[in-house]
């Protein structure tokens, strides 16, 4: 699929959607940005797996939505009306997709949520289960949009008009269905005349900040300046940065967060210069089963991403050893707050994150006691 008719701005595109016929996941191929805006349709398990692994679709929320739609598309291809056979093949496909990227918790979260639909459908016709799978995938996307907007509202309460904001990697619209996570306060602020000055780290080695964040913020009319990763200390030292907003792919129970490689460096520098670091994290990324960041499995990627991708000629000597982790872990002591759709969690995170997860679970059960404001170590200056 090529560029879509009538769409002239990246903000007009859906990052992830289901095809009209329901037989394919349609994504923006982010490996082609910013030079070419191209959408592609994914129909097979291999195509969906490779799109996630090769970062054609990336960002924790977007990966979750793509996985949900993807497993629905694959469920349509399971040629049986026998429940046991259907469930067995569904689980096999789920486990395959789940292997694409180990660090982003939204991938397994979305796939497990879809699998619960299959388990709950035991004893009902397979055709009915397929219909419910589609509805569940659509709900996951709708919730993502609402969650990101609420994160934006809470994040906006932490800054003031005219502030300088630094962000790392891409936790924007291209990483979610709409708004993004770390960029949600920026987009809402732009709508309300806050006129933020944004600094976007280039984010080596895959340049998500340069190719994606700078591209989408500029397209939205935001005042954005691109800087190299090793320039963050310079702009903070000059007093140009009032807050750092980043996304994350997994939050441990103690508040340690795994995000794109280099995030921990930004956080350490910000701590030195007294700049607060806020991690924008949908509750789907909170992993209470993982005690600390040391327990988070960090994905390692091909060495060619460092030595030759983006270069006309190889820039490193042949045979050189390369270490290329996709993520690093930011210690909770460097984080001023974790912004969720239920409020801003503060230290000690073992308490505030537990409260947030409990509130989420209570609301899911329709408990009226959970509908009040967040309690304890959770602040809720703004939100919906």
Active site residues: 249
SS3 content of the chain, % helix, strand, coil (to 5): 45, 15, 40
Chain centroid to CA 53: how far? 14
Say whether 250 sits in a helix, a strand or coil: strand
* CA proximity to 45, closest of 24, 18, 60: 24
Phi, psi of 269, deg, nearest 5 = -65, -45
Note if the bond before 34 is cis, omega within 30 degrees. yes
Q: What are phi and psi of 103, to 5 degrees?
A: -85, -40
Q: Which contiguous run of DSSP H or E holds residue 338?
A: strand 337-340
Q: CA 165, CA 241: separation in Å to the nearest integer?
A: 5
Which region holds residue 42: left if phi is over 0, alpha if psi is between -120 and 50, else beta?
beta
| Exposed e or buried b per residue across 136-169, where buried means at least 16 C-beta atoms within 10 angstroms of its C-beta | bbeebbebbeebbbbbbbbbbbbbeeebbbbbbb
> Cα dist. 100→108, 199, 230, 284 in Å?
10, 31, 30, 18
How far apart (Å, rounded) are the C-alpha atoms in residues 332 and 294? 12
8 A C-beta contact, residue 111 and residue 74: no
Which two structure tokens, joined as six digits, stand for 342? Answer: 């239920």
């Amino acid at each position: 699929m090529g560029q879509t008719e009538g769409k002239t701005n990246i903000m007009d595109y859906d990052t992830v959607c289901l095809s009209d016929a329901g037989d394919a996941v349609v994504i923006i191929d982010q490996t082609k940005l910013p030079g070419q805006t191209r959408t592609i349709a994914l129909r097979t398990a291999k195509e969906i797996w490779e799109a996630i692994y090769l970062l054609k679709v990336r960002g924790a929320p977007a990966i979750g939505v793509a996985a949900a739609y993807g497993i629905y598309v694959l469920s349509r291809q399971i040629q049986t009306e026998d429940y046991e056979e259907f469930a067995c093949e569904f689980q096999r496909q789920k486990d395959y997709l789940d292997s694409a990227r180990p660090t982003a918790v939204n991938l397994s979260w979305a796939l497990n949520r879809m699998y619960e639909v299959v388990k709950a459908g035991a004893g009902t016709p397979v055709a009915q289960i397929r219909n419910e799978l589609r509805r569940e995938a659509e709900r996951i996307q709708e919730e993502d949009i609402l969650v990101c907007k609420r994160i934006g509202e809470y994040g906006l309460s932490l800054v003031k008009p005219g502030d300088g904001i630094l962000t790392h990697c891409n936790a924007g619209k291209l990483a979610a269905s709409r708004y993004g996570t770390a960029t949600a306060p920026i987009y809402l602020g732009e709508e309300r005349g806050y006129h933020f000055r944004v600094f976007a780290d280039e984010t080596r080695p895959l340049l998500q900040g340069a190719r994606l964040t700078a591209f989408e913020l500029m397209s939205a009319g935001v005042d954005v300046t691109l800087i190299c990763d090793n320039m963050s200390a310079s702009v903070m030292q000059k007093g140009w940065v009032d807050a750092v907003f980043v996304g994350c792919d997994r939050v441990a129970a103690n508040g340690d967060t795994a995000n794109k490689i280099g995030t921990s460096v930004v956080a350490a520098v910000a701590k030195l210069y007294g700049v607060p670091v806020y991690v924008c994290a949908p509750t789907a990324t909170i992993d209470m089963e993982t005690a600390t960041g040391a327990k988070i499995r960090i994905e390692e990627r091909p060495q060619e991403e460092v030595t030759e991708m983006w270069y006309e000629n190889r820039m490193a000597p042949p045979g050189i050893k390369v270490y290329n982790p996709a993520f690093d872990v930011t210690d909770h002591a460097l984080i001023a707050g974790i912004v969720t759709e239920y409020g801003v969690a503060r230290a000690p995170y073992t308490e505030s994150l537990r409260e947030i997860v409990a509130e989420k679970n209570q609301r899911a059960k329709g408990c009226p006691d959970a509908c009040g404001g967040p309690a304890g170590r959770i602040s809720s200056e703004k939100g919906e």
